[in-house]
Amino acid sequence: MKSTKYTRFCRRFLSSTFEKFNLNKIDKNNMLEKANISMVYQEYYSMVLMNCILGFIVSFFSTLFIYLLIPNSTTMLLLLITTLIVPFLIGMTYLRLPAAKARARGKNIDRHLPYVANFINTMSVAGISPSEIFGSLSSIKLYGEVQKEAKKITTEIELMGLDAITALKNAITISPSKKFRDFLQGIIAVLQSGSELAPYFSRCVDQYMFDDLEERKKNLDSLAIMAESFVTTVIAFPLFLVIILCVMGLTSGGISFNFLYVISLFILPMAYCGFYVMMKSGMGEEV
C-alpha cells in the first residue's frame, strides 16, 4: 500500500485532528514500516477516518433511499443498523490491517530465511562484503519479503550514504520477523568485533535448516490430523446419515427430510468454510 493523491488529501484535510491526540509517532510509523505500508501514520489514519466518514455517508443515503421507497419499521431499523455497522467495520478493518500484514510478512520472512541464510553464506565464503550481499539479495524476487527488507537496507547504504552497521540497525527496528532481527543483530555483532562472517553464517544455516525441518514435520502432522477430521466430519458422516435416514424412512413409513436440507445448505458449507479458515490461519502452513 503506497501513498496516493487521495491519502495525501486526507492528511491535509484531517491533519489538525491528529495533532490533538498524543500518539506515539515512532511506534505507529514502525508498525506501518513492518507492514510495508509506505505512509506516515498521520496519512494512514487520516485515510482511515475519511473512509469511515465516506462509509457512513454512502450507507446512510443508500438505506435512506430504501426507507423512502418502503417506509416501515424494518427499513428504519436497517437504516440505523447499517449506518452504524458499515463505518465501524471499515474502521476496524483498516486499524487491524497493519498488524495483520506485519504478521503475514513475518511468517513469509521466517519461511524463506533458511534459504536466504544459505545464499548469504555462499556469497560470504567468496569474500563478498555485506553491503554487496544485500544488494544482490535485493534483486532476487524468489525470496519473497526478505527481498524487500534487503532492498530497504541497500537503499539506505547506496542512496542515503549510511554505513552497513547503521543500515542493519535501522532494518532491525522495522523488521516484522524476530528471527530475521536476531539474524541481523548477529551480523552487527560479528562486524563490530572484527571477526569473520562466514563461520557465523554457517552456524545460522545449520540452525535454520534444522528448525525448518522440524517445523515442516509439525505441519505435516497437523495436515494429517486435519485430513482425517475432514474425511470423518464432512464426507463419511453425511453419507452415513443419509443411509440411516433412508433405512428409518423405509421402516417407519416416512420421515421428514428437512434436517437433510439444513445439513446440505447450512451445516456442510459452514464446515467447509471452517476447514478453509483453519488452513489459511496457519494449521496448514506450507510444507
Task: State the Cα torsion 160-166-167-169 to the nearest 10°.
Answer: -150
Is residue 6 classed as helix, strand or coil in its secondary structure?
helix
Model confidence band, residue 256 (pLDDT cutoffs 50, 70, 90): low
pTM above 0.85, yes or no: no
How would you label 136-150 residue by residue, b for 16+ Cβ within 10 Å and e otherwise? ebbeeeebbbbbebb
DSSP 284: T
pLDDT value for 40: 84
Is residue 198 classed as helix, strand or coil in its secondary structure?
helix
> Considering the chain, what percentage of its residues have pLDDT values greater than 90?
37
pLDDT value for 149: 93
DSSP 38: B
What's the 3-state SS for 130-169? HHHHHHHHCCCHHHCHHHHHHHHHHHHHHCCCCCHHHHHH
Choose the weakest-confidence range: 3-17, 156-170, 183-197, 238-252. 238-252
Cα(224)–Cα(3) distance, integer angstroms: 44
Tens digit of each residue's pLDDT (9 = 90 or more) over 163-188? 999 999 999 999 999 999 999 999 99
Tens digit of each residue's pLDDT (9 = 90 or more) over 138-169? 998 889 899 999 999 999 999 888 899 999 99
CA-based nearest residue to 64, from 86, 38, 83: 83
pLDDT value for 254: 58
Cα(268)–Cα(233) distance, integer angstroms: 9
The residues, ordered by sequence, that sit 6+ positions from 286 with a Cβ below 8 Å of its Cβ are 111, 219
Query: CB 76: neighbour CB atoms within 10 A?
Result: 14
Tens digit of each residue's pLDDT (9 = 90 or more) over 61-74? 998 888 888 888 88
pLDDT at 203 over 80: yes
Task: State the Cα torsion 120-126-132-133 to the nearest 10°.
Answer: -10
> Would you mind telling me the total number of residues written for the chain in this entry?
287
